[in-house]
Structure 1
Amino acid sequence: MRMIAAVMHAQGLPMPYAKSQPFRIEEVELEAPGPGEVLVEIRAAGLCHSDMSVIAGARKRPLPVVGGHEGAGIVREVGSGVSGLAVGDHVTLAGVAGCGECRYCQANRPGLCQAVTGAKAQGLLGTGTRRLRFPNGEPINHYSGISVYAQYAVVTPQSLIKIDPDVSLDVAALFGCAVITGAGAVFNSAKVPAGSRVAVIGLGGVGLTAVMAAREAGAARIIGVDLLDSKFGLARALGATDCVLASDPEVVQQVQALTQGGVDFCFEVSGHPAALEMARAMTAKGGEVVGVGVNRPETQFAVNHLAWVCNEQVLRGSYMGGGVPQDDIPRYVDMYLKGRLPVDQLRSEHITFDQLNEGFDALHSGKVIRQILLPHGTV
């Protein structure tokens, strides 16, 4: 079929993106799903900071590629050999998918699966196929195995999570990255116990979800840290007990004073080494620094070995929530429907294809939390 999609032909173009246009809105061809694949009509897709790093060239991808790794839609066709999904099902699409057979998948850690990760790194689906091409026949790569900045997507069922149709699809899209990453860091990676003291550095979609999850976990103190105080009102509404400016020279001392010596868990969402050092400094002895944000592959983070050992601090990575989306997302959706995880408050605005590049300028400025692309113009 022919459809409209946002195609990236080059990385590292300069800002503003409204001018350099890293995404070109083009008509492309999408082949029908083969065995073990599913066709989904994309109804909503989120703009994420991880996409920003790809646009900037910090994380290389095979080009050209149809972007987007956080979305939701409706199943329109099911290939042979697929079970558990039917035409008409509402689904969230997540970039985390495993082969189901390797040591990591067997340990319920599909985000570490090398078989699927290798295929996605080559711009392929988990089946090893490529279903996107230009009208002239030139192939187009898939992004994170899903490519949701398009009107339709062919994906493997491992990337699909069936959801309650009562959830609006523009909200359902958020569960594919922002929610599983932020909530999973709290529930799966850190396993934050009730009564804990928590800090979250970076109050975007992922960080604010971590704030919500920490409240749900029963954390006694939840401190939001960001460069923009304009985010503090929403952070407090979602569960933060305190907010501190990251640019304040006394930010670490403020957090230590609020928590009688530091937090038990600090979630660092920006991925910047300076923020990681800040996180380590505001974490109490015996506490955990949980790295959630990502940076360039060559980025290094130095640790004072003696202090690390003597303070018994834990440095933990958390990739895409460290869990199983098929198990976690239905649980988070249930929390949302019961009012315990109000992720709908992360939505900033709806945009269309012609606003996509400008949308990333707004995301970079911090003026928005989560913009939702509507590939068909409506939810």
Structure 2
Amino acid sequence: MEIRGAVLQECGRPGPWERSRPLAVTELDLDGPGPGELLVQLEAAGVCHSDLSVVDGNRVRPVPMLLGHEACGRVTEVGDGVTDLAVGQRVVLYFVPRCEECDACRAGGRALCSPGWAANGAGTLLSGARRLKWDGREVHHHCGVSGFATHAVVDRHSVVPVADDVPPEIGALLGCAVLTGGGAVKNAARIEPGEDVTVVGVGGVGMAAVLVALACGAGSVTVVDPLAGKRSRGLELGAAKALTPEEAVESGHKTSVVVEASGNAKAFETAVSVTAPAGRTVSVGLASPEARSSISPLALVSETRTIIGSFLGSGLPAQDIPEYADLWRAGKLPVDQLVSGTIELDDINHAMDELAAGRAMRQVIRF
């Protein structure tokens, strides 16, 4: 079938991207679902820093690639062997499929699915197949999702069903921003009620960490960011205090749980430095592969602190996404407040400029 999507032609093309246009919004051919796969008509997709890091070349991926990894839509066709989902169901797509059979999958969320991670690196679905073509050329899938498009073929292990009362833009954000930021607090740090939390870097993922920390009963939440607009927004979302990175370090600010969601080496150092003795530093930001940080091993030992890397929320999407949907439904997790704007697919290059400049938290494409 013919679909419309945003194809990345080249990683690292110089900005502003509204001018250089690395993402071509174009017609593509999409094959039908193979065994164990689904055809999903997409309703909404979020624009995330993980997409931006491929566009700007910090995370080089094979091209051409149809970007987008945070999306929600309805099943329109099921492949052979899919018996637990039906046409018409709303599903949230998430960005590392879980085969449920490898040793990593049996680790209960502590590790990423080995075949899923390998497929993401190769730009394929979990089966190793590619279902996209553009002008006769194969197009790579992004994180098994390729959500910047009107339709997607995905593996059954890349989706979680949600009830019809979950709006598409809420569902999309549950699949990455909330899954990642919330999981850093809930699963990786294992926050206890009353514990104080600091979030370093408050874009979409960082703000989601703020909201989930509050929903989990955090004592108080502090946001740390160099941009005044993000600090102000953090206070609006319920943070008790907002600091610049310099203020956080120089004031001696410390909390037992610190989440780093910036993807910046200096931000990681800031996060470690504001972690209290016996505290946990959770890093979810995707820094450049060449980035390096300097920390004191003695401080880790003498203050019995823990540093935790977290990906995919350090949990199981099939369990976590419905839990976050329940918190949203109960009014305890206002995910809608993460949405800074709704855009058209044709605006995708401009959206990357807005994200890079720190002027947007979560832009959502509506189809």
TM-score calculated relative to the size of structure 2: 0.97
CA–CA separation in structure 2 for the residues paired with 1:122 and 1:80: 24
How far, CA to CA, are the matches of 1:242 and 1:106 in structure 2? 40
Report matched runs for 1:22-33 at 5 Å: 22-33=22-33
State the partner residue of 1:18.
Answer: 18
In the alignment, what sits opposite 1:259? none
Which region of structure 1 is more displaced relative to structure 2, 235-244 or 317-326?
235-244
Q: Is the 8 A contact 1:98 1:111 kept in 2?
A: no
- Give the CA RMSD over aligned residues: 1.3
1:340-355, aligned counterparts within 5 Å? 340-355=332-347
State the distance in 1 between where 2:17 and 2:262 align. Answer: 21
Cα distance, 1:299 vs structure 2: 2.2
Q: Write out aligned runs for 1:21-170 (5 A).
A: 21-109=21-109, 112-134=112-134, 136-170=135-169
Match of 1:324 in 2: 316
Q: Any stretches of 5+ residues in structure 1 without a counterpart?
A: 257-261
Counterpart position of 1:253: 250
Q: What's the CA shift for 1:350? A: 1.2
Cα separation, 1, equivalents of 2:300 and 2:169? 43
Q: Deviations over 1:238-292 (max 9, x none)?
A: 221111123xx33213352xxxxx1101111112111111111111111111111
2:72–2:93 Cα contact (<8 Å) kept? yes
Q: In the alignment, what sits opposite 2:353?
A: 361
Q: Distance in 2 between matches of 1:219 and 1:351?
A: 33
Alpha-carbon offset, residue 222 of structure 1 = 0.8
Quote how far apart the aligned CAs of 1:111 are.
5.4
- The one-character-per-residue Cα deviations of 1:59-84 (angstroms, maximum 9, x if unpaired) are 11111000000000000000010121
Which residue does 2:269 correspond to in 1?
Answer: 277
List aligned pairs for 1:175-194, cutoff 5 A: 175-194=174-193
Cα distance in 2 between the residues matched to 1:130 and 1:79: 15
What is the Cα deviation at residue 216 of structure 1? 1.6
Question: Is the CA contact 1:271–1:294 (under 8 Å) kept in the aligned structure 2?
Answer: yes
Q: Structure 1 111/28 Cα, relative in aligned 2: closer, same or farther at 3 Å?
A: farther
Secondary structure in 2 aligned to 1:112? coil
User: Does 2:194 match 1:195?
Assistant: yes
CA contact (8 A) 2:232 2:242 kept: no
1:110–1:324 CA contact under 8 A, matched in 2: no
- CA distance in 1 between counterparts of 2:250 and 2:221 reads 16
> Please, which runs of 5 or more residues in structure 2 have no aligned partner?
none
User: Which residue of the partner structure matches residue 243 of structure 1?
Assistant: 242
For 1:354-373, what per-residue CA distance to the aligned partner results, in whole angstroms no more than 9, with x for missing partners? 21100111111121111111
Q: Secondary structure at the residue paired with 1:75?
A: strand
For residues 293 and 232 of structure 2, what CA distance do their matches in structure 1 show? 31
Q: Distance in 1 between matches of 2:6 and 2:199?
A: 32
Distance 1:110 1:165, change over 3 A: farther
Comparing 279-288 and 104-113, the one that deviates more:
104-113
Residue 236 of structure 1: how far off its partner (Å): 2.2
Distance 2:49 2:132 in 1: 24
2-structure distance, mates of 1:342, 1:305: 39
Contact kept? 2:96, 2:116, Cα under 8 Å: no
Tell me if structure 1 keeps the 8 A contact 2:96–2:113: no
Query: What is aligned with 1:313?
Result: 305
1:340 is displaced (CA, Å) by: 0.4
CA contact (8 A) 2:263 2:285 kept: yes
User: Are the counterparts in 1 of residues 31 and 132 from structure 2 also a CA contact under 8 Å?
Assistant: yes
Contact 1:223 1:255 (8 Å CA) reproduced: no
CA pair 155-192 structure 1, distance change in 2 beyond 3 A: same
Aligned equivalent of 2:293, options 294, 298, 301: 301
With structure 1 as the length reference, what TM-score do the two structures score? 0.94
| Superposed structure 1 runs of 4+ greater than 4 Å apart | none
Identity over the aligned pairs, expressed in percent? Answer: 41
Q: Take 2:64 and 2:149, find their aligned partners in 1: how far apart are those partners?
A: 14
Query: Which of 270, 273, 288 does residue 280 from structure 2 map onto?
Result: 288
Give SS of 1:199's match: strand
